[in-house]
A and B are shown apart, each in its own frame.
Chain A
Amino acid sequence: MNITAFTFKKSLVPGLLLVILVALVTLPIYGSLYNVILVTSILMYANLTVSWVLFSGSTGYMSLATAAFFGIGIYASALFLPTTGAVFPVLVVVLIGGLASSLVALGVGALTLRLRGIYFAIFTFVLVVLIMELGIWWELSVSHLLGRYVILVDNNVIFYTMLGIFVLVMLTTFFIRRSKFGLAMRSIGENEEAASHIGINVTMVKVITFAISAFFMGATGAIWATKLTYVDPHVAFNVLFSFMPVLMAIFGGMGNIYGPVIGAALFAYLQETLQTEFPEIYMISFGFILVAVILYLPNGVLGLIQKLWKRISGGKRAHT
């Protein structure tokens, strides 16, 4: 009986993932336009959250630079997909957005990843503000534009691009976690000094991970811009996008790869529902939910699910 339970459990997760993937891929066929747009924004948050966890969750460096990388991606679209005529195909621009963000991450990371703890968090936060201010200055005094308009892209194209990035970021996280590189990242998160003394090039591992995570944030920003259609520095470098991934990751639980996704999905869905159904109390109720989660679910929603699952599946074994 144990063996059947075991194989059932083994095939459960990949099976479930396949079902979810198929459901997502076919969504535009059976779902309404509203649902496609809702899932697109859920995927956007999931992308940011999973990429944030990829770096910050394992190395323990709390990055608040998400909005900077996201915004750089958004500006890639603003520059290369203007309403006056797209310079490159959408997918190429998405790639440019990702690469530009990782380049900035490489530079910034090499300079600042020696900072620890709160100093690193503050620096990354300041980075967002700095880039935004630079953007404002540039638009005002060099390009003389208040904002930029991005071409309209079909909702399904946006959806599938977002989904593609999501699948890529999940696969990347999955393989990095199981690799030697992932072991180095976890060692750094556990004790950076010890990690360096057993031969791990801690600076290189941190900078590369930072850049990989920034790539997905930038790519996500680039495709998101086609949904925004109007872009200015305040829209692109909104600091809210630095904090959302952190909150979503805490909400879902960072224990494994699915926690952040569950967190992002529930969070984004809640946000959407509360915003449309109860606009007056949206922010208040949101705050209460978050406080409750942090107080009572230290391992996030996923931790709760795992606890319940253990009670259901492990209950039988406990009696024997």
Chain B
Amino acid sequence: MHILEGEGVTKYFGGLAAVSNVDFYVEQGEVVGLIGPNGAGKTTLFNLISAALVPKPGIIKYKGKNITRKKPHQICRIGIARTFQTVKIFANMPVLQNVLAGSFFGTSPGMSSTDATREALESLEFVGLSDLAATPAGDLTLANQKRLEVARALATRPELLLLDELMAGLNHTEIAESMELVKRIRDRGVTVVMIEHVMKAIMNVCDRIIVLHHGQKIAEGTPQEIATSKTVIEVYLGEQTNAGS
């Protein structure tokens, strides 16, 4: 079943087509990678899905229902959560409170505070931040701030999670941990769409990859198909020797 579908999704910024007539789909339970050079429109597409921006023209469907006119908080409440390319944590609040906000207001807003706290602690445990629950979020390392964003997004109990450059700026160990994290999120039954420049991670974790270039979808397929696709190598991957690094 297609959990998410886009038909002719387009977004202009002034005269520039940031995303242009993109059709895409995401199957329930898979991990989809969204790649492309800087400025290709990847984050804009995330913003369109999560309703931070409205496509014009174009339709986005979640579980077969048109969600194009919804507000960001409504998108979250129907089960689509996201993280941000530049971390947007609540820096002056303790780590636990960040996640608590997610579990209080996510897909089940009527939750009691005991349930919400339990859920928040569970999310922190899942990403490995339990020991830092009382620390102000702004004091965390970048890797941990990114994990915190994931925990906060998971606390909203999404069925679809959009990860925007989870691994950018992380070292090798942290990248390996993040790849592990994405796999564990998938194993929980959460469908994942991830924007990523770390090719090793994309090739390793994703079931399917969509390639954007200048706002247009230029390729789509399994990691093997993408790694050997001529167009993709030309515009993005470059020499094949670099593709795996």
Show the binding face of A for B, using Cβ within 8 Å. 180, 183-184, 186-187, 190-191, 193-202
Q: Which residues of B81-98 have CB atoms within 8 Å of chain A's CB atoms?
A: 81-82, 84, 88-93, 97
CA distance A37 to B109 in the complex (A): 47
Find chain A residues with CB under 8 A from B113 CB: 180
* Interchain CB contact under 8 A, A198 and B106: yes
Query: What's the nearest-Cβ distance from chain A to residue B170, in Å?
Result: 20
Query: What's the nearest-Cβ distance from chain B to residue A34, in Å?
Result: 43
* Interchain CB contact under 8 A, A198 and B93: no
Query: What's the nearest-Cβ distance from chain A to residue B74, in Å?
Result: 8
* Interchain CB contact under 8 A, A199 and B89: no
CA distance A278 to B76 in the complex (A): 59
Find chain B residues with CB under 8 A from A200 CB: 73, 101, 105
* Interchain CB contact under 8 A, A183 and B97: yes
Determine if B43 is an interface residue (Cβ-Cβ < 8 Å): no
The verdict on A199 contacting B88 (CB below 8 Å), with A183-B104, A187-B101 known, is no
Q: Which residue of A lies closest to B50 (CB)?
A: A197
CA distance A180 to B111 in the complex (A): 10
Find chain A residues with CB under 8 A from B50 CB: 197
CA distance A277 to B155 in the complex (A): 59
Find chain B residues with CB under 8 A from A186 CB: 90, 93, 97
The verdict on A197 contacting B109 (CB below 8 Å), with A191-B89, A202-B73 known, is no
Query: What's the nearest-Cβ distance from chain B to residue A58, in Å?
Result: 11
Query: What's the nearest-Cβ distance from chain A to residue B200, in Å?
Result: 28
Determine if B102 is an interface residue (Cβ-Cβ < 8 Å): yes
Q: Which of these, A184, A187, A195, A199, contacts B77 with CB under 8 Å?
A: A199
Find chain B residues with CB under 8 A from A194 CB: 84, 88-90, 152
* Interchain CB contact under 8 A, B92 and A199: no
Find chain B residues with CB under 8 A from A202 CB: 73
Query: What's the nearest-Cβ distance from chain B to residue A237, in Å?
Result: 35
* Interchain CB contact under 8 A, B101 and A196: no
* Interchain CB contact under 8 A, B100 and A199: no
Determine if B118 is an interface residue (Cβ-Cβ < 8 Å): no
Show the binding face of B for A, using Cβ within 8 Å. 50, 52, 71-73, 75-77, 81-82, 84, 88-93, 97, 100-102, 104-107, 109, 113, 152-153, 155-156
CA distance A196 to B90 in the complex (A): 12
Query: What's the nearest-Cβ distance from chain A to residue B146, in Å?
Result: 13
The verdict on A198 contacting B105 (CB below 8 Å), with A186-B93, A193-B52 known, is yes
Q: Which of these, A183, A190, A191, A198, contacts B76 with CB under 8 Å?
A: A198
* Interchain CB contact under 8 A, B100 and A197: no
Query: What's the nearest-Cβ distance from chain A to residue B222, in Å?
Result: 30
Query: What's the nearest-Cβ distance from chain A to residue B38, in Å?
Result: 21
Query: What's the nearest-Cβ distance from chain B to residue A197, in Å?
Result: 5
Find chain A residues with CB under 8 A from B82 CB: 197
CA distance A201 to B76 in the complex (A): 10
Query: What's the nearest-Cβ distance from chain B to residue A205, in Å?
Result: 10
* Interchain CB contact under 8 A, B52 and A195: no
* Interchain CB contact under 8 A, A197 and B105: no
CA distance A191 to B92 in the complex (A): 10
CA distance A199 to B51 in the complex (A): 12
Find chain A residues with CB under 8 A from B90 CB: 186-187, 190-191, 194
Query: What's the nearest-Cβ distance from chain B to residue A277, in Å?
Result: 41
CA distance A201 to B73 in the complex (A): 6
Find chain A residues with CB under 8 A from B100 CB: 183
**Chain A to chain B: the 8 pairs with minimum beta-carbon distance, closest first:** A190-B90, A199-B105, A194-B88, A199-B76, A196-B72, A198-B102, A191-B88, A199-B106
CA distance A308 to B234 in the complex (A): 65
A-B contact pairs, 12 of them (CB 8 A): A184-B104, A186-B97, A191-B88, A193-B88, A194-B90, A197-B76, A198-B101, A198-B105, A198-B106, A198-B153, A199-B73, A199-B106
In this complex, which of A183, A198, A201 has the most chain B Cβ atoms within 10 angstroms of its Cβ?
A198
Query: What's the nearest-Cβ distance from chain B to residue A181, in Å?
Result: 10
CA distance A184 to B23 in the complex (A): 35
Find chain A residues with CB under 8 A from B155 CB: 198
Find chain B residues with CB under 8 A from A195 CB: 101
Find chain A residues with CB under 8 A from B73 CB: 196-202
The verdict on A199 contacting B93 (CB below 8 Å), with A193-B88, A194-B88 known, is no
CA distance A191 to B156 in the complex (A): 17
CA distance A149 to B76 in the complex (A): 54
Find chain B residues with CB under 8 A from A198 CB: 73, 76, 81, 101-102, 105-106, 152-153, 155-156
* Interchain CB contact under 8 A, A196 and B77: no
Find chain B residues with CB under 8 A from A191 CB: 88-91
The verdict on A197 contacting B101 (CB below 8 Å), with A180-B113, A190-B90 known, is no
The verdict on A190 contacting B93 (CB below 8 Å), with A197-B52, A198-B76, A199-B107 known, is yes
